[in-house]
Structure 1
Amino acid sequence: MRLLALALAAALAMAAPVSAQQVRDIANVNGWRAYVAQSDSGVLCGMGTDANRVGRYFWIKVERLRGELHGFVQVGDRSWNVRQEARGRIVIAIDNRRAELNYIGTGSPEMIEASYQGAFNNFINFVEAFAAGYRMQVIFPGERVEPWSADLRGTRAVTEAFLACARRI
């Protein structure tokens, strides 16, 4: 667990496994799911939701890149049109804890990918706060985007499946 935490602390950042070729769900609870997928760069594990009726999604994924585990958070809205190199920041609040993340636009105009920096000591702490949380809010400081809120009840089971998957890759 400690080795995993150290390896994942390097990067964290919010869309379903877009580049994945084969996807298999490993847990589903309250609109949240955990999955394992085969991507171009190997096996990856993820968790999140795209169950929002307004086209928003939030995903956390882990994959092995050049021999090391890396974590990412992807957030998107099907109505967005984000430039590929757009940069900014988002804040993720889980109950009373907050983390600030810097993002960059991706090749998909509806998605941004954020790198982890902030209040959580490492990736594992972030994932554990997510699992134990009741409410998450995603805030977009300086942007004309209203904060998003999400119900995190039931994410413990999804998070445990995600972490078990991450330990195997």
Structure 2
Amino acid sequence: MRRLALALLAAFAFVAPASAQQVRNLAAVNGWTAYVAQSDGGPLCGMGTNANTMGRFFWIKVERLRGQLHGFVQVGDRTWNVRQAATGRIVIAIDGRRAELNYTGTSRVDMIEASYQGAFSNFINFVEAFAAGLRMSVSFPGEQVQPWSADLRGTRAVTEAFLACARRI
């Protein structure tokens, strides 16, 4: 159990923004975790997973930028080599409901980040679909990357902790 806690803390340090200084777990279920982090810009809330043997990670986060809440999706694979300014699309399907997002490469070569601009009516609906979903798939149209899939069973508790955090920031 102690090793798992240390591994999760190491994972958060790896995935949380470089400016994040403090990370605190809010909930963890079935390999998915919700957290709050304190960054230079203030608090940010996130949830996601990197609990797989393939080196992949998927995170949803919300933070306040210039007084407004913004939702982001971060997707990564430790084997990727993405240019910082690379752009493209990802499609996230949750039990058949699809959200299409435009992404940009980050300062990390193994990660892309997308501001939420999906087919769902708003970011909160996307997060609620995530909480209620059983299966998620992530695809990368136009790229030579195989689609991913993930089990979402049990994510309601993690999502509720994430949403409570988002309401506080």
TM-score, length-scaled by structure 2: 0.89
Deviations 1:92-116 (A, max 9, x none): 0000100110000000000000122
d(CA) in 2 for partners of 1:119, 1:84: 26
Corresponding residue for 1:99? 99
**Percent of aligned pairs sharing the same letter:** 80
- Unpaired runs of at least 5, structure 1: 1-14
Q: Secondary structure at the match of 1:129?
A: helix
Q: Comparing both chains, which one has the higher relative contact order based on Cα–Cα distances under 8 Å and sequence gaps of 6 or more?
A: 1
Corresponding residue for 1:70? 70
Contact conserved, 2:70 with 2:115, CA < 8 A, in 1? no
Query: How far 1:119 sits from its partner (Å)?
Result: 2.0
Deviations 1:142-166 (A, max 9, x none): 1010000000001000000000000
Deviations 1:55-88 (A, max 9, x none): 1000011111111111110000000000000010
Corresponding residue for 1:111? 111
- Unpaired runs of at least 5, structure 2: 1-13
Aligned length: 155
d(CA) in 2 for partners of 1:153, 1:166: 22
d(CA) in 1 for partners of 2:74, 2:66: 21
Corresponding residue for 1:24? 24
d(CA) in 1 for partners of 2:70, 2:141: 26
Query: How far 1:137 sits from its partner (Å)?
Result: 0.2
Query: How far 1:18 sits from its partner (Å)?
Result: 3.0
Contact conserved, 2:45 with 2:165, CA < 8 A, in 1? yes
Q: Secondary structure at the match of 1:117?
A: coil
Q: CA RMSD in A?
A: 1.0
Corresponding residue for 1:40? 40
